[in-house]
Structure 1
Amino acid sequence: MFTVTICSISPLVLPWLIYIMIPVLEAQEVKVTGYLGDDVTLPCQAITRPEDIIVHIQWELEQPDGKKISIMYSYGQFEVLVVESFLKERVEIEEQSLIIRDVEMRDAGTYICRISAFPSGSFEGTTNLQVKAGVANVMVTSNTTDMLEYSTVRLSCSSSRSFLSFLWLNGSSEITESDRVQLTDGGSTLTIVSVTRYDQGPFRCQVSNPVSNGTSGPVNLSINYGPDNINLTISPSQEHYEEGSNITLTCSADSTPDAQYTWFLNGDLLSDTGPELRLMNIQESKSWNYSCQAFNSRTQRSINSQPAAISVLKRLSDGLTIIPGAMLILPRMIAAGVFVTMLVTTYSIIIRIRRKALVRHRVCTGEKNPQNKFLFFLFLNSTILSHISCFQFP
């Protein structure tokens, strides 16, 4: 006859019993590199079977001087105990791995993990942590980002690490010293003298040390310049305009910020503003001189365009328009009480008629020929009065 005695064992004692009773499995050794200020994960992965129950995990640190520091104990699902040490506020356990936040140089050493699993046994592994001062927190600051062209700008690069070297980039191009570019303070300070509109960036600073490297975010400069290269255009573009035409004048200039535009007529300021001036259904028959002015409120500079002449002509009858030019009087052209005066330019012919008459004109071959010769026909009531054979004009 057998007597069975059932006793209660504390969950804090059970792991130690398992660790003593079950052989320790083969150790695992891992090497990990951590960077100053970053987080690092130290693995401790046991080769267990699906039916195993992990009842105990222990982490401790063996420092380079041989001193051992207990870090934490995990009793399966029952409790996690973090031991008082310089790591206490920065460690946590995730499954079997140990996570160290905000790594410090003194965190370096050999970390030992012990896992007790039932029924497989106990596992012990070591992880060697090497801490390096990698590049971090690279930042570029500027004494100003909004400036006038031809002023001076100073950019400074910083990082929370030491033993650094610096490389400056404008876009993807490396910046080197020149007459306008100075690199000082070990390369951490970039000074550009007499900045131009082409020095807007983006600027970046690349920092490196023997361990790692890092690059800052982009910094763009706002260069205020101009106005320069003012241009006044007329649409449609032609030598003369008939009464009733619509004309658009456009003024443009290179400027940052955008220029403000004002308009002038024969030298007198108009109330119109903006880059476009629209002349609708023009009626008065005369010549006008329009010009524009571009003004930059940031640079306090202005520039005036060359005047553009607009000649407005009055239509006399279908197909006939008065165009200014040299005058040729033909005294022989007097018939039926009609007196004709011809106004001639190199490209255009105008006939002014006194009394009622039907007047038409043609060109020798329908267009101007290479010798600048023209043929004129004069009609009265569809009857030819006279003609001039291909008259030549200079």
Structure 2
Amino acid sequence: MGRGTLAWLILTFLRVLESNAVEIKPSTNPAVAGDTLTLSLSPSLTFKSGSWAVGEIQILTWLGEQQAVFSNHTGRASVNVLTGALTLSSVKVTDSGVYIVQSTDPPLKANTSITVLEAVSNVTLKATQTSLTEFNSSVIMTCTVSSGSSLSFVWMNSSSEVNASERVQLTDGGSTLTITNVTRYDRGPFECHASNSVSNGSSDSVSLTITYGPDNMALTVNGLNTTSFPAGSNLTMLCSAQSNPPAELRWAFQGQPVNTSGPLWELMSVTKDHSGLYSCLASNNHTNLNSTITKNILIAGSSEHVVNAWLLLLFLLSRLLY
């Protein structure tokens, strides 16, 4: 074997080793649909010929300064005949795939996987209904987009992320939220966030009106929890209930309704006759529910004790004077 032949073999072997180390470097991956994508080779080489394909589909070939683009990429693909870099304009989701570059001068074959995604736009949230009754109603909310591919969905109830539970189902890839037997804590506002690895978007918020109650009633007297007061006191009784819409409040004494309504009942200069059971009755016409709270109030002593004290004092004074 002559020296020239040996040198040629060594050079060819070194170029093969060099070409096997070539990597395809995309300008971006994943790429956004509509953008321009460039696939460069690293390290940089000088080519005399080669071809690009995506999967089994031929994109283009080149020889010297001449290049030929196949019909499915006409007007969108070009190659740098010196560096072998491929440029695709207005990429589509269907351009996703494994891109292969081949050359015989220098000899090489390399590939890389490219993903093209549509950017998220116009995220919209719709609910089947927005007026519901606690424990008796269900709602389905759907999240849609005008464009976007390979989407992930996240639902928010106010500042908290919504997670699946016994009452809450996330279906259709997370784009549909179903809440059964709603509670007062399901009011929202709800938002839907749609995203992929190249973009994201959020819907406008939707709030639910949930009727509930009355329940969790409270009754205080003079702002205190005590139920015993001296005769002659003025009593201010305050009643509250959790309810939507606000509950209608009425009062009763010893089980008998009185001509007083609203959250406040005031009694002036009470006597022992005012001792007994005081009840606040709450009702909600939207839920058709009622609730009652009762306190047994004791009025200690009476005004008679004051009169008797004065009579005793007068008696003692008369004995001293006479």
TM-score of the aligned structures, taking structure 1 as reference length: 0.47
Q: How big is the shift at 1:358?
A: 2.5
1:305–1:158: structure 2 CA closer, same or farther, 3 Å change rule? same
Q: How big is the shift at 1:313?
A: 4.5
Aligned length: 214
Unmatched tracts of structure 1, length 5 or more: 1-32, 37-63, 68-103, 107-130, 323-351, 360-378, 385-394
Give, in whole Å, the separation in 1 of the partners of 2:284 and 2:240.
12
Give, in whole Å, the separation in 1 of the partners of 2:147 and 2:251.
59
Q: Give the alignment of 1:218-297 within 5 angstroms.
A: 218-235=205-222, 237=224, 239-243=228-232, 245-282=233-270, 285-297=273-285
Amino acid in the other structure paired with 1:314: S
Partner of 1:48 in structure 2? none
Q: How big is the shift at 1:308?
A: 3.1
Amino acid in the other structure paired with 1:145: T
1:291–1:356: structure 2 CA closer, same or farther, 3 Å change rule? closer
Q: How big is the shift at 1:307?
A: 3.6
1:224–1:105: structure 2 CA closer, same or farther, 3 Å change rule? farther
Give, in whole Å, the separation in 1 of the partners of 2:295 and 2:145.
57
Give, in whole Å, the separation in 2 of the partners of 1:147 and 1:226.
13
Greater share of residues in helix: 2
SS at match of 2:186: coil
Give, in whole Å, the separation in 2 of the partners of 1:248 and 1:308.
15
SS at match of 1:233: strand
Partner of 1:172 in structure 2? 159
Q: How big is the shift at 1:277?
A: 0.8
Amino acid in the other structure paired with 2:169: Q
Match of 2:118 among 116, 133, 154: 133
What percent identity do the matched residue pairs reach? 40
Match of 1:183 among 147, 170, 178: 170
Give, in whole Å, the separation in 1 of the partners of 2:283 and 2:236.
21
Q: How big is the shift at 1:276?
A: 0.7
- After superposition, the C-alpha distances for 1:14-51 in whole angstroms (9 at most, x for unaligned) are xxxxxxxxxxxxxxxxxxx9877xxxxxxxxxxxxxxx
Amino acid in the other structure paired with 1:231: A
* Aligned partners of 2:217 and 2:241 also within 8 Å: yes
Match of 1:65 among 59, 74, 82: 74
- After superposition, the C-alpha distances for 1:366-387 in whole angstroms (9 at most, x for unaligned) are xxxxxxxxxxxxx944989xxx
* Aligned partners of 2:170 and 2:178 also within 8 Å: yes
1:156–1:289: structure 2 CA closer, same or farther, 3 Å change rule? same
Unmatched tracts of structure 2, length 5 or more: 1-30, 35-72, 77-89, 93-115
SS at match of 1:358: helix
Partner of 1:216 in structure 2? 203
1:35–1:313: structure 2 CA closer, same or farther, 3 Å change rule? farther
TM-score of the aligned structures, taking structure 2 as reference length: 0.57
1:210–1:287: structure 2 CA closer, same or farther, 3 Å change rule? closer
- Which structure ranks higher in relative contact order (CA pairs < 8 Å, sequence separation ≥ 6)? 2
- After superposition, the C-alpha distances for 1:99-121 in whole angstroms (9 at most, x for unaligned) are xxxxx989xxxxxxxxxxxxxxx
Give the number of the structure whose alpha-carbon radius of gyration is greater. Answer: 1
Partner of 1:358 in structure 2? 313
Greater share of residues in strand: 1
1:182–1:381: structure 2 CA closer, same or farther, 3 Å change rule? same
Amino acid in the other structure paired with 1:203: F
* Aligned partners of 2:251 and 2:279 also within 8 Å: yes
Match of 1:160 among 141, 146, 150: 146
In the TM superposition, structure 1's runs of 4+ consecutive aligned residues that sit over 6 Å from their partners are 33-36
Q: How big is the shift at 1:300?
A: 1.0
Q: How big is the shift at 1:193?
A: 1.8
